[in-house]
Amino acid sequence: MIEKLKTRVVAADPDSVAEAARVLMAGGLVAFPTETVYGLGADATNGTAVAKLYAAKGRPAFNPLIAHVPDLSSARRIAILDGPADRLAAKFWPGPLTLVLRKSAGCPVSELATAGLDSIAVRMPNHKVARDLLAALGRPVVAPSANRSGHLSPTAANHVLADLEGRIDLVVDGGQTTVGVESTIVALLDGPPVLLRPGGVPREEIEQVLERELGDPPDGEIDPEAPLAPGMLASHYAPRARVRLRAEHVDPGEALLAFGPHLPKGSEHAARVLNLSPSGDLVEAAANLFSDLRALDAAEVSSIAVMPIPLEGLGEAINDRLMRASAPR
Ligand code: TXA
Ligand code: MG
């Protein structure tokens, strides 16, 4: 049972950020913008707050969370950064890259947040509101995307409210997020580096810094109770409508999620058309992905046809999210 809360929305400014830090310090739940998607934050060192967070999201309890930090010294307090981790952090932090690392000795993050693993996911977001909030709190903040488990990730404050009103204390509204897909997650543990989740930093750029290829996560449906590569549930980013990928035509009554200047056959009959990027720019497409999917889903069509999207650069993350959105459930 979830206690019913009065969720307040406040515009991001120094006063509201200070208030958000107080709410977190007191064990509350605060949604805040990052450059990727809105996160639902809780004090990572407070097990009760983390438990409330899982309950508010309705999240499988063994799916571990990302600890967000404002700077490198805070990262080193919770995790061990060796050579490759240091190089990636120097190049991409702050930014949409999460590193899964060995926990530091005496890591203060609650065991619940890391699902009892001896590794921890760490990220330094590149968003002024997020960084000011983290700096003001002076503790790591765990923050999954601020949506109900299995729903689309929010890229605006009203998306957060649609899912979590009455379940969280505060939403800090910082406008639309810019990257639009979640961070790339790379595990740097005992074996070779592994790309656990494609995201805001393209694989190629990470491989260039590491001077080696990234391994791939295991495919397919993964048991959330056995978090070998948790968070890789096949059906995850889920609109209500069926999602039909690599569409080369539009069926009558379908909505179309387009990409690029050339629309497929039947588009003129589409119930609604949104274009991720009319010019075919993958960065723009990533930023629009979740809000466009959400808008088409709101049109209450039974099916959304999605045009093919190239796999290079941010296209890998976009295709990954679309595949999850289309997975049978
Ligand atoms: O862009 C983002 O990363 C957003 C914003 C809010 O920062 N956060 C986000 O968090 O996407 P979330 O909880 O939706 O995704 C976290 C992913 C999950 O797939 C989880 O299984 C994985 O990180 N993860 C966390 N800790 C891990 C660990 N120790 N080992 C492997 N995977 C881990
Ligand atoms: Mg999520």
Question: Ligand 1 pocket: which residues have CB below 6 Å?
Answer: 34, 36-37, 39, 63-66, 96, 98, 100, 114, 117, 119-121, 123, 125, 143-145, 182-183, 185, 196-197, 230-231
Give the torsion sign (CA, 243, 244, 246, 252): negative
Instruction: Give the rounded distance of the alpha carbon of 281 from its chain centre.
Output: 21
Q: pLDDT digits over 95-108, tens only?
A: 999 999 999 999 99
Mapped onto helix, strand or coil, the DSSP state of residue 215 is strand
The pLDDT value recorded for residue 3 is 67
Fold (topology level) of 242-326: Rossmann fold (3.40.50)
Query: 57 alpha carbon to ligand 1 midpoint, in Å?
Result: 14
Q: Which ligand is nearest to the CA of 61?
A: 1
Return the beta strands (E) in 211-271 as ranges: 242-244, 255-258
As a CATH number, domain 8-232 is 3.90.870.10
Choose between 216 and 189: higher pLDDT: 189
**Per-domain boundaries in the chain:** 8-232, 242-326
Q: What is the pLDDT of residue 329?
A: 66
For residue range 114-164, what is the model confidence (pLDDT) as tens digits? 877 889 999 999 999 999 999 999 999 999 999 998 889 999 999 999 999
Q: What is the pLDDT of residues 25-50, one digit of tens each?
A: 999 999 999 999 999 999 999 988 98
- Measured by CA distance, the residue closest to atom 9 of ligand 1 is 144
* Nearest residue by C-alpha to atom 3 in ligand 1: 183
Phi, psi dihedral angles at 326 (to 5 degrees)? -100, -5
